[in-house]
Amino acid sequence: MEKLFGGIEGGGTKFNCAVGNGPENIIAEARFATTTPAETIGQVCDFFAPYVNQLQGIGLGSFGPFDVDPASPTYGYITTTPKPNWANANILGMLREKINLPFAVDMDVVVAGLGEAKWGASKNDSHSLYLTIGTGIGGGHIVDGKPLRGLTSLEMGHIRIPHNFELDPFQGACPYHGDCFEGLAAGPAVLARFGQRGETLPDDHPYWNMEAGYIAHALVNFILSLAPQRIIIGGGVMQKDFMFPAVRRKTQELLNGYISHDMILNHIDEYIVPPALGGRAGELGCIALAMQMDS
């Protein structure tokens, strides 16, 4: 009998849950709006209840900041999030109260990177970077099937990038750092600038050129410091068709030939790519995370 695993992609807008063992074998899925911890986690537990005896374990990928250090007293907690009701929420503890199974946990963007590394755009790469640009900005660097981390998880959305106040006088939307990468380029920054969401801005709006520049500056930092073999970018901001070509072009311009690798010089469209798993990268990545416990 084939082994089955659970996946919980806990996002700031919705929780995606799945049961299966890969893209071709998902036997159950559900989506729940992210309301309060008690309500949302209760719905998640109810979803898994019929499958508990069939599962080897469950992988949880959560929005953050999320404590993924097993030695920490707040392991499995969402910590300093500005999302109402969710700061210091012990979501792993709430799940364990109702579900008696092994759990593996990581940041939501990290598990999406794991999914792409196992089944998606970076399945043939030993080092890959997954970045999401949407309500927030986060990233995960996957090395030989495992996420890179040290003192804490990586917080790629909060690096500092060049900010020309004459061209862009916006002070930034990050409550901690103002004009960090997330504070300048995430969805809430667009809303704060223009009073409308990015998807409602016309394609020829001059802001998009600026947005592509901010993303490219961040990618250059990651290329120079982590040297990923592939960069995968998900999230709502990248849904506009012109964004990937603009980001690739600006990344090449900023590197200015310094990294003389063929992938960057001549195959940039294969180097900076969208997720091959699309919107399923997160939940499939959670299943991949759970499968690592069984290997």
Expressed in angstroms, the distance from the first to the final Cα of the chain is 17
Check whether 165 has a pLDDT greater than 90. Answer: yes
Q: Could you state, in order of their start, the residue ranges of all structural domains in the chain?
A: 4-111+279-294, 124-274
pLDDT of amino acid 154: 87
Instruction: Provide mean pLDDT across the span 88-112.
Output: 96
pLDDT of amino acid 152: 78
Percent of all residues in the chain with a pLDDT value above 90, rounded to a whole number: 88
104-145 pLDDT, tens digit each: 999 999 999 999 999 999 999 999 999 999 888 999 999 999
pLDDT of amino acid 185: 97
CATH 3.30.420.40 fits 124-274, yes or no: yes
Instruction: Provide mean pLDDT across the span 195-202.
Output: 92
pLDDT of amino acid 1: 65
Instruction: Provide mean pLDDT across the span 55-84.
Output: 92
pTM for the structure as a whole: 0.93
Pick the CATH number of 4-111+279-294 from 3.30.70.100, 3.40.50.1010, 3.40.50.720, 3.30.420.40: 3.30.420.40
